[in-house]
Structure 1
Amino acid sequence: MESLPTADVSLLTKIAQRDQSALSALYDRYAKIIYAIAFKSLQSVEESEEVVLDVFAQVWRIAERYDTQKGRVDTWLFTLARSRILDRLRKLQRTSPANTLSMDAAEIQPKADNVNLFEEVVIAERRSRVMTAIKNLPTEQKLVIELAYYQGLTQSQIATKTGISLGTVKTRIRLGLNKLKSILNSEQDW
């Protein structure tokens, strides 16, 4: 049986060759988790659904650009999703700046007609691991990561909002992300 990362690469290769069934398979595998990530930040069913559609439309357009040397397919997809989420957050902040978002929002419950219980368990477990890892970061790193990833602020905006120098914000984000990566990778090893 093909491992998940290998299967994902195979799907992207087929998508680059315009195989719609491969796009459908990738969508089935990742749409719910991308929706969950989007909903966590956007708190809107409609906006979150738009993020999912935008991500997979982009995958269809640029699948041939995916480079296995730069990371796993799921990481690439989540990077695309994060970019779309940030675009929407910035748009929403321009139209409604009083809207504040937080990691402490209610747990995400993705809406779907055909719920795959195994997939739901995997998503919940991943979310739990990430949330636990974030809670284990030093307070100053946790703060800047929450502002960047859950409120969609740029590093400059974080510096302005917190009164911390831009260089310190960049360092804290880099250190926090490295620590998260280390925590999550060490959990996968056991």
Structure 2
Amino acid sequence: MEPLPVVDDASLLTRIAKGDQTALSALYDRYARIIHSVAFKSLRSIEESEEVVLDVFAQVWRIAGRYDKQKGRADTWLFMLARSRVLDRLRKLQRNRASAPAFNDADEIQIPASEVSPIEEAMISERRDRVASALKNLPDEQRLAIELAYYQGLTQSQIAAQTGLSLGTVKTRVRLGLSKLKLTLEAETS
């Protein structure tokens, strides 16, 4: 059996613009970890960094048709979207934590090299293990909703359709589960 040909990022974005979810999944698999690492360097929060990743790929899904390969590489475009989402998160955190020192130098957010260093890889692995452990402590229905959203990339509407639950129920389960995860992970770092 021959290996599948590698599809370039620009082609994936073209397919995403036409509504191809498998192309979005492929792009996500290619860039989610590195975008998470970039976000974590600035935000210093696993949860906020995960939100940035989700925001970036939700935005890619909505605006992939705006990408113009004549203006630049697809990965550069993705990292600019990520940088913008990180800055949005930083501003939000500054508003919410007026008394806490916040990172506010936008020039410090760098587009990463194409490979993750061994130290970053170890940090990502450690965070992944902590999240997996915390997920096991959630009620099954909340864990399932979160796993479908974050690990399979389904929207809440898709989760509702797949599970036969109402959209409101799915939203509540994801929100409650994420809240419990956040508390568990914050307690571990305290």
Are residue 16 (structure 1) and residue 17 (structure 2) matched?
yes
Instruction: Report the CA distance shift for 1:32/1:96 in structure 2 as closer, same or farther (over 3 A).
Output: same
Matches within 5 A, 1:77-156: 77-97=78-98, 98-101=100-103, 108=120, 109-110=123-124, 111-112=127-128
Displacement, 1:2?
A: 10
Q: Return the letter of the residue paired with 1:87.
A: D
How many angstroms apart in 2 are the aligned matches of 1:58 and 1:70?
A: 19
For residue 46 of structure 1, give the secondary structure of its aligned residue in structure 2.
helix
Displacement, 1:112?
A: 4.0
Aligned to 1:61: 62
With normalisation by structure 2, the TM-score equals 0.52
Unaligned stretches of 5+ in structure 2? 109-118, 130-190
RMSD (Å), alpha carbons: 2.5
Q: Return the letter of the residue paired with 1:99.
A: P
How many angstroms apart in 2 are the aligned matches of 1:99 and 1:52?
A: 24
Q: Return the letter of the residue paired with 1:93.
A: Q
For residue 70 of structure 1, give the secondary structure of its aligned residue in structure 2.
coil
Aligned to 1:40: 41
Aligned to 2:72: 71
Q: Return the letter of the residue paired with 1:17.
A: K
Displacement, 1:100?
A: 3.6
How many angstroms apart in 2 are the aligned matches of 1:41 and 1:33?
A: 13
* Bigger relative contact order (CA 8 A; separation at least 6): 1
Identity of aligned residues (%): 67
With normalisation by structure 1, the TM-score equals 0.52
For residue 67 of structure 1, give the secondary structure of its aligned residue in structure 2.
coil
Show CA shifts across 1:70-124 (max 9, x none).
1101100000001100001001011213224497xxx6422447xxxxxxxxxxx
Q: Size of the alignment, in residue pairs?
A: 109
